[in-house]
Chain A
């Protein structure tokens, strides 16, 4: 009898859980624009992912609270936890695409690579803001993928440009050693072809230090190699727990921090703070504003954070990665707004969103109008160029906070663009039959 009761309870529980898991979710209301957010608040990369997720979520929430959405239509926001895992990311995509998803932000190069072939089939664009496949900038080959405002290859070229400036010009790079420490995943390997090309062209030696994902907090070997090789500069493509560990290890081997430059995903305050005062001089690329001295961020604080409508820690508003998440949602929102204007519809589809993103023109005036003057460099997408190769700046850790230390630095577009086009053609060939672009250019 006792066993019977146990079995009955277990069965009831199992049925309940299963029913909950597979029960059809209510379809999105007809008068909303549905934006799923693939985020990660758990797992080894949560330290970076939480800030991004909060920033993305809060800006869209704020638009709902302040303006009733976009064009009078509320935004239906739904987060799906990926743990930065490509398989879970695809599961999230499959679970949400049928609800009228307008756009996907995978926040992982691995997930982005999985979604790229699906985008044109399901007619839902992928927005990989400053990450993902660099070659996706070529709009003729990838009409459904957007990596505005800048690709990894552009970013790598900016770092080389900056180093060249410090050394007295590109010609001075000959004979130098530049180290590249990176997360040994699709993300970290992405800029290597460009760096190798530049090394060959300008005569510097590129030293590579891969960090496997399961060794992110155990980097002493990589940094011992750095100590032995004595590279003149170090470049980092890190994420999650890799960043603070790398900065601590660099401090530990007494690497000159002013010659250590991270990509924009290695630009978190928490990352640099791990090295404390000793990490002063560490630099990172950035393309979004720092601080909360922007009216839109004040609105987020008042209408969303202080009102208790988010999980955001108030102290994190204005930090680099939080603001990056905000910028991501600004692009989503402006894409929706542009699509509404171009199509005349208020409730749009993924196909409309693609048109909106392709016609995105975020001018300085528009940024000021939405309460984010100076928050980002003006950015424009064209049918041919889905990244725009916009400039980025460099910020430096002063021991307590990041301070902007350069003006906007242009990428080496003349070098990068032909390589992007070649890489896009190569991708299409390797993934044949890759669909020809049939989408009209709305510009």
Chain B
């Protein structure tokens, strides 16, 4: 037993280096995708202190809008632009109808509002698009398909899916763009001010409503990118909504307010769960991936309760 836990996994890694590399690659891709989902949560939490329960359904809604428009004869790129427009309208609507009337309400009320929003979007989405899964228009959007295999030793093979490479590139570009937006633009700085202190931001003339609409729109764009990438890996369906909750341990780990935290957290969870499942999962019958991510997050919490990059909150009496 001790051999199976402490020795055999490392022997396997040494004996099958191609497989180990494949596991690392899959962990990296999963991590990037988790990070993308976590980014959506972080954006909204930073600006409003709300845990956006609806982020998962926003991923599905954005993906379905894109595919649905294309199915109705709209060319792929125009459908993409229109979907961005729909996400903008949705962001404005959420700010106007859900968020604005709840300003200054306790956080739990805002959380409940996003839960309500989730169920509204599920019902509304099913009403418009139906409940059937839809194929993502990967090729029509010019995204690469297929794979490249690298020979490794005599029998070794490392297979890289082109769509996974594209996902990694898009996620990195998106994070870069968000970093520039937050740090270098006037709206970005205003957004950080709102995140630090709502009332102070209001007192210097920053429009809370405008900032919230912008941040929900940014989260909508992240949701669209996530929907395209996850949809390309399987299908766009309402089952994807559950995947969004894979971001929870990422957030616990990285901190709810940190964009770099979401990325690093996503990668740690992605690598961690794949390696654990593939090399240690068999000892308990497999299927440990779904809860192992939380174990990693909880271990980190023991040492850094605010997460890797979260803000340490000290309340003095």
Contacts and interface: CB of A to CB of B under 8 A. Distances in A.
Interface string A202-221: 00000011101111111011
A253 to B, nearest CB: 7
A245 interface: yes
The secondary structure that dominates the B interface is helix
Interface in A180-220: 184, 208-210, 212-218, 220
B176 interface: no
Interface of A: 40-47, 49-50, 184, 208-210, 212-218, 220-222, 224-225, 227-228, 240-241, 244-245, 248, 252-254, 270, 273-274
Contact of A42 (B19, B238, B278): B238
B230 to A, nearest CB: 7
A274 B235 contact: yes
Interface residues of B, number: 41
Interface stretch (B78-86, B110-118, B128-136, B208-216): B128-136
A209 B131 contact: no
Interface of B: 16, 19, 22-23, 26, 29-30, 122, 126, 130-133, 135, 147, 149, 159, 161, 230, 233-235, 237-240, 242-243, 245-246, 273-274, 277-278, 281-282, 285-287, 289-290
B289 A47 contact: no
A25 to B, nearest CB: 22
Contacts of A44: 237-239, 242
Find the residue from B30, B135, B239, B273 having the highest chain A CB count within 10 A: B239
Nearest to A40: B131
Nearest to A278: B146
B159 A210 contact: no
A147 B26 CA distance: 41
Nearest to B282: A225
B234 A217 contact: yes
Nearest to B135: A274
Given A44-B238, A46-B131, A46-B238, A221 B126 contact: no
A228 B278 contact: yes
Contacts of B237: 44, 46-47, 217, 241
A270 B131 contact: no
Contact of B239 (A184, A210, A217, A270): A217
B243 A47 contact: no
Nearest to A228: B19
A47 B131 CA distance: 7
A240 B159 CA distance: 27
Given A46-B238, A245-B235, A212 B230 contact: no
20 contacts: A41-B126, A42-B122, A43-B238, A44-B239, A44-B242, A184-B287, A213-B242, A214-B242, A217-B233, A217-B235, A220-B26, A220-B29, A224-B19, A224-B26, A224-B274, A227-B19, A227-B22, A248-B233, A248-B234, A274-B234
What are the 6 tightest A-B residue pairs by CB atom distance, in nearest-first order?
A46-B131, A44-B239, A241-B239, A245-B234, A217-B234, A47-B133
Contacts of A222: 286
Contacts of A274: 135, 234-235
Given A214-B242, A221-B277, A252-B147, A50 B130 contact: yes
Given A217-B240, A218-B246, A224-B274, A50 B26 contact: no
A179 to B, nearest CB: 12
A225 B131 contact: no
A212 B159 contact: no
A209 B242 contact: no
Contacts of B26: 220-221, 224
Nearest to A41: B131
A274 B235 CA distance: 8
Contacts of A49: 131
A47 B132 contact: yes
Contact of A50 (B132, B159, B239, B278): B132
Contacts of A217: 230, 233-235, 237, 239-240, 243
A212 to B, nearest CB: 5
Contacts of A46: 126, 131-133, 237-238
